[in-house]
Amino acid sequence: MAARYDTRTTTFSPEGRLYQVEYAMEAISHAGTCLGILCNDGVILAAEKKVTSKLLEPLSSSEKIYKINENIACSVAGITADANILINDIRLRSQRFLFEYNESIPCEQLVQMICDFKQAYTQFGGLRPFGVSFLYAGWDSHFGLQLYQSDPSGNYGGWKAACIGANHQSAQSILKQEYKDDLSLDDGLSLAVKVLTKTMDSTSLSADKLEFATLTRDGGETKFTYLDNVRIDALIKVQQEKEEAEKKEKERKAKK
Amino acid sequence: MSIMSYNGAAIVAMAGKDCVAIASDRRFGVQAQTVSMDFQKIFPMGERLMVGLAGLATDVQTVSERLRFKMNMYKLREERDIEPVTFMHMISNLLYEKRFGPYFCEPVIAGIDKHGKPFISSTDLIGCPMTPGNFVVAGTCSEQLYGMCEALYVPDLGPEDLFETISQSLLNAQDRDALAGWGAVVHVITKDQVITRTLKSRMD
């Protein structure tokens, strides 16, 4: 059935599907969740770290969220080794643009470039696609703060809130209900914690399982900051207290 | 007509006690015609590292843009600032890659390393590095600069005295050169901060 049409990336199946691309997306749905939220004064990237053995030496400051250039950052879901290749490529492309035009690359152009690169692996060469989806958070002078998502097929979209990785469908539906236009950064952070609490596999959330970063504009400069563990723990605590209060309120109403 | 004296420049860097200073003139000219008096020849490459480029102006700009490319990639990959001696090797490599069709520019590097030790060096246009320890010069009036520096320099000057010394060396040398001058800019780099001063000189 699918067997004859899925061994080569460049072959369509009779139903018109590219199986290798779909299998790549399947690989990503086992990876740690990443979500992005566009607020009126910043973009939030939040991610769940899958591997948290205490034996693990931290290689770099981050496993899921990376800075691309002064104005753009991204978070990764999927095969980390594939992601490293692509992140390096994205960084080089943005520097080449800066070298040629002496201007920071606009977000959508960068996303398009890397998507074109990913698409090539679905059409020729006989190589498998990259098993990575990205969420890009960025600022440019043309469209301000933006959030994009791209997947192994080379498709991309601009979003107000998006989620990739494990349980992304449930996270996406929660975001659809809860997201409001014109969120402040703090509201966005609370929303991110709320969604992660509801969709993560692990029973209890703690800062060492999460990575949070924000991209904001301040005085003509773009600031990309990782939230430290203290701040993340505080956010989690506030969210847990809120949920406790809501639960008690419900019980009180049910008793009546 | 020599390519290296088509535009004209005067760049000097000196080492002091826990500080370095780097200074340049501000003239951009095409042979005898002066075109602008605010041409940037010194470029920051980190919190405590600066590079000055003398020579053909178009190569000064291209090399500084290529260095910016490499520096940005270095910072993203290594997640730290580059050490001055590593940067010197990077420039040397960049220039030697064009060994048989070189960039017509001579860099001067000044910075403080992670231990707080001052570092200055320069290379020739094909990347041969030189780390003398006291002062380095480059540009169309390099001979005058050598003379001034040799006469005025004393080791282990503090930031304020270093500023005076390097300013006098630069000003008096560029006054004796038709192609360099029209003002000067001096940066004094210490462990904590960079102080930038612009000097008014003979505007001819």
pLDDT in tens, B20-35: 999 999 999 999 999 9
pLDDT for A201 beyond 80:
no
Write out chain A residues lying below 8 Å of B69, CB-based. 95-96, 98-99
- Give residue-wise pLDDT tens across range A57-109: 766 668 899 999 999 999 999 999 999 999 999 999 999 999 999 999 999 99
State residue A6's pLDDT score: 62
Q: Which residue of B has its CA nearest to A97?
A: B69
Rounded to a whole number of angstroms, the distance from the CA of A233 to the nearest CA of chain B is 25
Q: Is the pLDDT of residue B39 over 80?
A: yes
Contacts of B71 in chain A (CB under 8 A): none
- For residue A199, the model assigns a pLDDT of 86
Tokens matching residue B19: 């500080």
- Whole-number mean pLDDT of chain A? 90
Q: Is A242 on the interface with B (CB under 8 A)?
A: no
Q: Which of A61, A95, A102 sits opposite B73 (nearest CB)?
A: A95
Q: Which strand (E) or helix (H) includes residue A213? A: strand A210-218
Region A126-145: mean pLDDT is 94
Mean pLDDT, rounded, for A144-169: 95
Of B68, B72, B79, Cβ closest to residue A60: B79
**H or E element that contains B185:** strand B184-190
Q: What's the predicted TM-score (pTM) here?
A: 0.90
Does residue A7 surpass a pLDDT of 70? Answer: no
Q: pLDDT per residue over B85-141, tens digit each? A: 999 999 999 999 999 999 999 999 999 999 999 999 999 999 999 999 999 999 999
Picking from B114, B131, B137, B124, the residue whose alpha carbon sits closest to that of residue B191 is B114
What's the confidence (pLDDT) of residue B105?
A: 96
Which of A59, A85, A87, A99 to mutate: most B Cβ within 10 Å?
A99
User: What is the average pLDDT value for chain B, to the nearest integer?
Assistant: 96
- CB B97, CB B66: distance < 8 Å: no
A61 → closest Cβ in B65, B68, B79:
B79
Task: Express as a percent the part of chain A with pLDDT over 70.
Answer: 93
Does the pLDDT value for residue A218 go beyond 80? yes
Say what the pLDDT of residue A52 is: 66
Mean pLDDT calculated for residue range A158-185: 94
Q: Copy the structure tokens of residue B106.
A: 């001579």
Of B69, B77, B79, the CB nearest to A98: B69
Run of H or E including A45:
strand A42-48
pLDDT of residue A146: 96
Q: How confident is the model at residue A3 (pLDDT cuts 50, 70, 90)?
A: low
Nearest residue of A to residue B67 by CA position? A99
pLDDT of A12 reads 86
| Interface check A98 vs B, CB under 8 A | yes
Contact B65 A99 (CB under 8 A): yes
- Split at pLDDT 50, 70, 90, the class of A26 is very high
Residues of chain A found within 8 Å of residue B73, distances taken between Cβ atoms: 91-92, 95
Is the distance from CB of B50 to CB of B20 less than 8 angstroms?
no
Q: Are A179 and A172 in contact (CB under 8 A)?
A: no
Q: What is the pLDDT of residue A63?
A: 84
Mean pLDDT over A224-230 rounds to: 92
User: Mean of the pLDDT values across residues A166-180?
Assistant: 93
Contact B69 A95 (CB under 8 A): yes
The predicted model gives A143-167 an average pLDDT of 95
Q: Is the dihedral of CA A25, A28, A29, A33 positive or negative?
A: negative
Mean pLDDT, residues A9-14 taken together: 81
pLDDT category at B70 given cuts 50, 70, 90 is very high
With a cut of 80, say whether residue A9 has pLDDT above it. Answer: no
Please report the ipTM that was assigned to this predicted complex. 0.88
Please tell me the predicted confidence (pLDDT) of residue B103. 97
Give the lowest-confidence range in A47-61, A160-174, A242-256, B87-101: A47-61
Question: Are B65 and A61 in contact (CB < 8 Å)?
Answer: no
Q: What pLDDT, on the 0 to 100 scale, is given for residue A5?
A: 61
**CB-based contact, B65 to chain A, within 8 Å:** yes
pLDDT score recorded for residue A59: 65
Q: Is the pLDDT of residue B189 over 90?
A: yes
Task: Using CB atoms within 10 Å of the CB of residue A122, give its burial: 0 to 12 exposed, 13 to 18 middle, 19+ buried.
Answer: buried
| CB-CB neighbors (< 8 A) of A67 in chain B | 76
**Cross-chain CB nearest to B76 (options A67, A96, A99):** A67
**What does the pLDDT average to over A122-142?**
92
Q: How far apart are CA B28 and CA B55, in angstroms?
A: 11
Of A61, A95, A102, the CB nearest to B72: A95
**Binary contact (A102, B65; C-beta < 8 A):** yes
Please say if the pLDDT value at position A222 is more than 70.
yes
Mean pLDDT of A215-241: 91
Amino acid making up residue B1? M
